[in-house]
Chain A
Amino acid sequence: MFPVSRSLRSDPPETTVTGMESPTGPRDRLRAWLREHLSYAVSEFTAATALVVLFIALSLASPHFLTADNLFNIGSQTAVIAIIAVAQTMIIITKGIDLSVGSVAALAGVVGAIVVRDLGFSVWEATVVAIGVGAAAGLVNGLLVASARLPPFIATLGMMSAGRGLVFIITGAVGVYSLPESFQLLGNGEIAGIPFAIVITAVVALAAGFLLSQSRFGQHVYAMGSNLEAARRAGIPVRRNLTAVYVLAGALVGLGGMVAASRVSSGQPNYGIGLELDVIAAAVIGGASLFGGQGRIAGTLIGAFLIALVRNGSVLLGINIHYQQVIVGLIIWAAVYFDQYRRRRLEARG
């Protein structure tokens, strides 16, 4: 038995995902569907409103904000956080959490850089290697959570430490430099004038969104997060699916790490310290619930851009880094508070 499932069983039935328990009739099913989708719409609406308000405020506050260059900059700056936040969202939906994303991204980035520098791999081959490194770390996380039954917090806390240690061992704590210019493709290249990093982010987000909302696997992911025991009894191969989520998320983290390395044309052993906070914040601001079973990619993207806008705006307006951190903290509180407040009202009415 998973340690987490005990507390899950007491969750209110409202959080159970559509399709897992047969509603008694079409009316009930419609109500459940409406409640489900309204709830998402509400949290995404809250975050999107904040995004729009901030966007307008920054446009007024800084003459340099609303320029094509700056908007592309924001897009590229957000790319890595968004890709990794997508991975984090998948894990959060299963009622998990991944604290190791920063370490794993750094590991994938330095390994990707090293195989190019020392083994003469092409940037594409290196990307495959980086994704593989991320997936391998994800597999370890997944096995620890699903088979060894460690709480996700502990499993990934261990990976956070071990992964960073590996990065320092592999690199000798020195950045990986002297890479060919082709290495910059993922982070600095363009397709039809659009930064490649933005294109990758869009593809990842669309694919993950489709997987979660349209596939059977996606249904299972929500079901496991809502009520693991019920999911198991419904015949879902819980252990395999849970492991698969961590592997998939790890692969995305690896990709994100490679994009980050490519952007700065080097493998950086210090990359991604504190990254987990940004991506967890992005997911939570976008409506993902740390209690599992809730979260959508669209919301997470909004959350990621909201955080990126705060950072971008802070520098444009010359705000000290310490205040930036306070602002992000306030936004997390506000986003989750309003989200819960509106959901409660919705549920009271429904």
Chain B
Amino acid sequence: MSRLVVASIGPASSVQDGGRFGAQRYGLTVSGAMDRLSLAAANTLVGNAPFAAAVEIGPFGATFTARDGAVRVAIAGAPRNADVAGKPVAMDTSLTLKDGETLALGFARGGAFSYLAIEGAIKGDLVFGSLAVNARAGLGSPYPRPLQAGDEFTIDAASGAPELRIELPKPVSGPIRVLLGPQDDEFDDANKALFLDSEWKISATSDRMGYRLEGPAIKHLHGHNIVSDGTVNGSIQVPGNGSPIALMMDRGTSGGYPKIATVITADVGRLAQTSAGTAFRFKAVSMVEAQDEARKFAQLIRSLPDRLRGCDTVELNIEALSDANVAGYAVSAVDAGTWQVMAEP
């Protein structure tokens, strides 16, 4: 057996998978990856099931060292500087760390969360079918808390399979799409318009439970207390102070503030990857469009194995180099202006 040791890691990093469904009726939070597509892409690269448990890495950097043998991993999600012994590593590819080698990841650029999948997947004790960490409820395995330096994962030795990259569709840009409701009738037309027409920013106090939105105050028609009812990933509730909160994966299963709108399934991961301070807008879509996008999103995740490409082609090398550039090693003048670089502390 090999080990992958967490040599260093920033806050808001934890083991996550597809989430813990089936017990929301008992108040059990679902948790799971903030960006399901990136989790699935990383897992697919190393031959795991799409929603197997992997390391969700928050906005700060992290380093991982292979011990007692080689470990095959893949990284996807928010782009970062990445290298092994100074040699750049591209996002959206697999790589094998030899015994003693360290993969170093920098700060997230243009996003918040990256996913490190390990061939054979992280093992642990399932609770309601999931290893996902929910620190507040003390749930998750092998560590029921955010990861710390010194934590380690025991895995089967690397298979020696050829390295792969994955061709993901061009990221969707534009507004975050929402369906109005379930309590949009708690707001008048002017306030619904204010919500849809304003520019918003994610507050720095956001976490896996909810993203606080900074922008104009949204006023309720009949006060801010409703009788608690169920929530979903992407519910946008408006508390008394008028600043909306988009509920994310560690949300409470019920909530007592009116929910003006709900982010569509296909865009929850995009919202999760919107870094603090970045301006964005919402756009209301129809149920037909939202469900059509949800089906396409599910289809995209199923299609990921068909999007794997060999790493030994010329095409790949160009891709890898270009990715390395994006990660900051040889920044081209053309690319430089287009990034949303998160403020480093």
Q: Are A and B part of the same complex?
A: no
Interfacial residues, chain B to chain A (CB-CB below 8 A): none
